[in-house]
Amino acid sequence: MGILSRGGMKHMSRKVLLIEDEPNIAEAIRFLLTREGWQVETHAEGTDAVEVIQGANPDLVILDVMLPGKSGMDILRDLRELDDLRGLPVLMLTARGQLRDREMAESAGVSRFMTKPFSNAEVLTAVRDLHAQATQS
């Protein structure tokens, strides 16, 4: 884990919660973001995702749409109902990239929408952008 903690030393305060039930995607994203200095927590269930987000208090959430128990779209809607999580940056990942799905995510309050398969650079850029926007506002 040594190489992961190298970058992490610089930005210990930044935390991302990755809610993704695909373990190998979660592992790849965790590796990438950890090297960027993010503290990465992962969760693979939809049912209790809102409570987990509340408990983890992350700076940013990466949220898969198709999750066991509860869809990412429903989780997002619930988040936006909560006063303290209304402004939390949420990057949504989905295999369904149709305009209709994008519009649905936007109306639910997504910060950024990304379709699978994505490139690592796209994920990193989106995370950087969203974090920068959140810290500026």
Partner 1 sequence: MRDTLTGSRIRERRQIAGLRQAELARRVGISASYLNLIEHNRRRIGGKLLVDIASALAVEPSLLTQGLEATLISALREAAADAVGQQAEVDSLEEFAGRFPGWAAVLAQMHRRVVSLERTVETLSDRLTHDPHLAASMHEVLSTAAAIRSTAAILAETQEIEPEWQDRFHRNLHQDAERLADSSKSLVAYLDDSDAADDRRGVPLEDAEAFFEQRGHHFPEMEGSEDSSAIDLSEIDSAAAKTVTRGLLDVYASDAKAMPLKAVKTALAGTEPDPIKLAAQFSVDIATVLRRLAALPDGVLSRPTGLVVCDASGSILFAKSVPGFAMPRFGEACPLWPLFQALNRPLVPIRKRIVQLGRSAAEFDCYAYAWPQAMSGYDDAPVYRSVMLVRAVEEGGQGGQPVARVGPSCRVCPNADCESRREPSILSEGF
User: Shortest gap between Cβ of 18 and partner 1 (angstroms)?
Assistant: 12
Contact status: 118 vs partner 1 (CB under 8 A) = yes
- Concatenated DSSP letters for 96-113? ---HHHHHHHHHHT-SEE
Amino acid identity for residue 53 in this structure: I
Please report the beta strands in the chain, taking only residues with DSSP state E, as ranges in sequence order. 15-19, 39-43, 60-64, 90-94, 112-115
Contact status: 116 vs partner 1 (CB under 8 A) = yes
> Which of the residues 38 through 97 are near partner 1 (CB under 8 A)?
66, 93, 95-96
Contact status: 103 vs partner 1 (CB under 8 A) = no
Please tell me the number of Cα atoms within 13 Å of 105 on its side-chain side. Answer: 25
Cα separation, 83 vs 27, whole angstroms: 31
Nearer Cβ to partner 1, position 2 or 137?
A: 2
Contact status: 119 vs partner 1 (CB under 8 A) = yes
Contact status: 101 vs partner 1 (CB under 8 A) = no
Place of tokens 């590796």: 31
Contact status: 124 vs partner 1 (CB under 8 A) = no
Q: Are 77 and 53 in contact (CB under 8 A)?
A: no
Nearer Cβ to partner 1, position 71 or 134?
A: 71
- The residue ranges that bind partner 1 (CB under 8 A) are 1-4, 22, 24-25, 27-29, 31-32, 35, 66, 93, 95-96, 115-120, 123
